[in-house]
Amino acid sequence: MSFVIPSLPVLDADLAVRLSAKIAGKAKPPGSLGRVELLAEQIGLIQNTETPHVERAEAYVFAGDHGMNAEGVSAYPSAITTAMAVTFLAGKASVNAFASACGVEVRVVDAGVDGDLPAHPGLIDAKVRKGTRNAAREPALTADEVAEALGRGADIAAGSTADVLVIGEMGIGNTASATLIMHRLAPAPLEDCIGLGAGHDAEGLARKSDILSRAAKRSDAVGPLDVLAEFGGLEIAMMAGAYLGGAAAGKIMIVDGFISSAAALVAVRLEPELERRLVFAHVSAERGHRLMLNALNAAPLLQLDMRLGEGSGGVLAVPIARAAARLMTETASLEDVISGAVTP
């Protein structure tokens, strides 16, 4: 099977001019709201309107396991992926707490968990297979499995009725896959991409570096689909599809941290026009994330030294997106203020 990249709506250059002029004419000094003004214009372009609406938000936590974890790339066993997915469904993880505070609904997507999750209204069963193969020794996925994951992610995002989607993840060992993806697609030297991940000490980091070096030497893949097949994972491929499917459907797509950005990098390499349609929530404390954001020409909204994943940083950016949209619809123009048209 093959994945057909969804067609993205053309961004209206004339609308961009009108949006910029409307923002400049608001009752405030020009440029005084900084990045929020740029975000307001971006949201208007994505929704193709001078009166954008950003209210209902969903966070999709794509979960999957990695065969490479058998080599010791993570400080935690793969069983934690299943346990954390259950915790998300129970509403007891950090992303749930942040989502509750920010008015965001959380959905868990089983992209490739190496375990069985209980039926739950908040669970989307999109499992392609139970975990990837060991990318240190063989290709993590087949071409068909990559295409299937991309397609399912695109369908999930396009089918949402929310205005804004936060794309997050859970998968023990997935910083290793994301690192290899960044190495090939940024591109960047492997040593500049490798970080602590979920809790490595110095010894664990050295072991992780050795494993990733062996994995990188195993394949010379550089194309986005080939890189996904060689290094995984299913949640990363499904997130990449979600960015493309959601953007094609006119959704505001918010990118979370290092892993989510790796998926965005895959998606942008598949469709460069996606780059202007993504909102990058934050720069994480994971080594390599800022370099990856640079490869995406991305300017993150926040810097909170987070490196959790789950969509946690993305959720915190949702109120900023809502505020940016309301700038366009609820802030008076300077002309109305001066003329006295604004009354209590």
* pLDDT given at position 108: 98
Task: Answer yes or no: is pLDDT of 75 > 90.
Answer: no
Looking at residue 74, its pLDDT comes to: 87
In 3D, which of 251, 58, 260 has the Cα closest to residue 166?
58
Q: Where are the beta strands (DSSP E) in the chain?
A: 57-64, 104-112, 123-125, 164-170, 252-255, 278-280
Q: Is the pLDDT of residue 202 over 80?
A: no
Which residues of the chain form CATH 1.10.1610.10?
Answer: 13-52+326-339
Please, where in the chain does CATH 3.40.50.10210 lie?
A: 57-321
Q: Is the predicted pLDDT of residue 317 greater than 90, yes or no?
A: yes
Q: Is the four-CA dihedral 86, 91, 93, 95 of positive or negative sign?
A: positive
Tell me the β-bridge partners of 169. Answer: 62
pLDDT at 207: 87
The CATH number fitting domain 13-52+326-339, selected from 1.10.1610.10, 3.40.309.10, 3.40.50.1580, 3.30.1490.20: 1.10.1610.10
**Residue 197 — very low, low, confident or very high, per pLDDT cuts 50/70/90?**
low
Share of the chain above pLDDT 90, in %: 94
pLDDT of residue 206: 86
**Token reading at 225:** 């689909």
Beta bridge partners of 333: 26
Residues 167, 263 contacting (CB under 8 angstroms): yes
Q: Which residues lie closer than 8 Å to 339 by C-beta, 6 or more apart?
A: none
Contact 174, 81 (CB under 8 A): no
Catalytic position from the list 105, 145, 310, 330: 310
**What are the tens digits of pLDDT across the range 243-272?**
999 999 999 999 999 999 999 999 999 999
Kindly state the average pLDDT of the residues 139-150.
Answer: 98
What would the mean pLDDT of 233-238 be, rounded to a whole number?
A: 98
For the segment 40-45, the average pLDDT, to the nearest whole number, is: 98
Buried b (16+ CB within 10 A) or exposed e, 174-184: bbbbbbbbbbb
Given this model, what pLDDT does residue 240 score?
Answer: 99
The reply to whether 191 belongs to the active site is no
Looking at residue 198, its pLDDT comes to 61
Query: 57-321 — its CATH code?
Result: 3.40.50.10210
Mean pLDDT throughout 283-288? 94
In DSSP terms, 26 is beta-bridged to 333
Cα–Cα distance for residue pair 299/169, rounded to 1 Å: 21
